[in-house]
C-alpha cells in the first residue's frame, strides 16, 4: 500500500516475496497459522526471518489460540477492528 505497507493476504511462506517487499515497506502484515498449513505461512517459518523484518511485521489471520505463543521478535498480533495509522 503506497510503497509503505505490505499485506500478504492468503500466502504460503515465500522468503523471496518477503525479502523483496521488506526492502520497500515500512510495515508488514502477514497471515500466520501456528502449525503448517497449505494456504498460510506458519509461525515457525516466519520465526526464521531476520530481526530487521520481524520487528516491522504484524501477524494476522491467525487462529483464536495463537496468542498463547510468544512473538517478542514481531511487531505484534494484528487486532481485528483496529485502525492502524502510520505517520
Confidence (pLDDT) at 2: 77
Of 13, 16, 18, 51, nearest to 35 by C-alpha is 13
In a domain, 32, yes or no: yes
In a domain, 87, yes or no: no
Confidence (pLDDT) at 59: 96
Burial (Cβ within 10 Å: 0-12, 13-18, ≥19) of residue 47: middle
Question: How many beta carbons lie within 10 A of that of residue 61, not counting itself?
Answer: 19
In a domain, 82, yes or no: no
**Is residue 5 pLDDT above 90, yes or no?**
yes
CA distances from 12 to 25, 51, 84, 85, 86 (A): 19, 20, 24, 27, 26
What domain range is 45 assigned to?
5-77
pLDDT in tens, 19-69: 999 999 999 999 999 999 889 999 999 999 999 999 999 999 998 888 889
In a domain, 85, yes or no: no
**Is residue 86 pLDDT above 90, yes or no?**
no
* Overall domain count for the chain: 1
**Is residue 1 pLDDT above 80, yes or no?**
no
In a domain, 70, yes or no: yes
Q: CA 20 to CA 77: how far, in whole Å? A: 22
Amino acid at each position: 500500500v503506497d510503497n509503505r505497507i505490505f499485506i500478504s493476504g492468503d500466502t504460503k511462506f515465500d522468503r523471496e516475496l518477503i525479502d523483496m517487499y521488506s526492502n520497500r515497506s515500512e510495515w508488514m502484515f502477514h497471515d500466520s497459522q501456528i502449525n503448517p498449513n497449505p494456504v498460510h505461512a506458519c509461525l515457525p517459518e516466519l520465526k526464521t526471518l531476520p530481526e530487521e523484518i520481524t520487528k516491522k511485521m504484524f501477524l494476522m489471520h491467525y487462529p483464536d489460540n495463537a496468542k498463547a505463543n510468544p512473538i517478542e521478535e514481531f511487531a505484534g498480533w494484528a487486532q481485528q477492528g483496529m485502525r492502524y495509522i502510520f505517520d
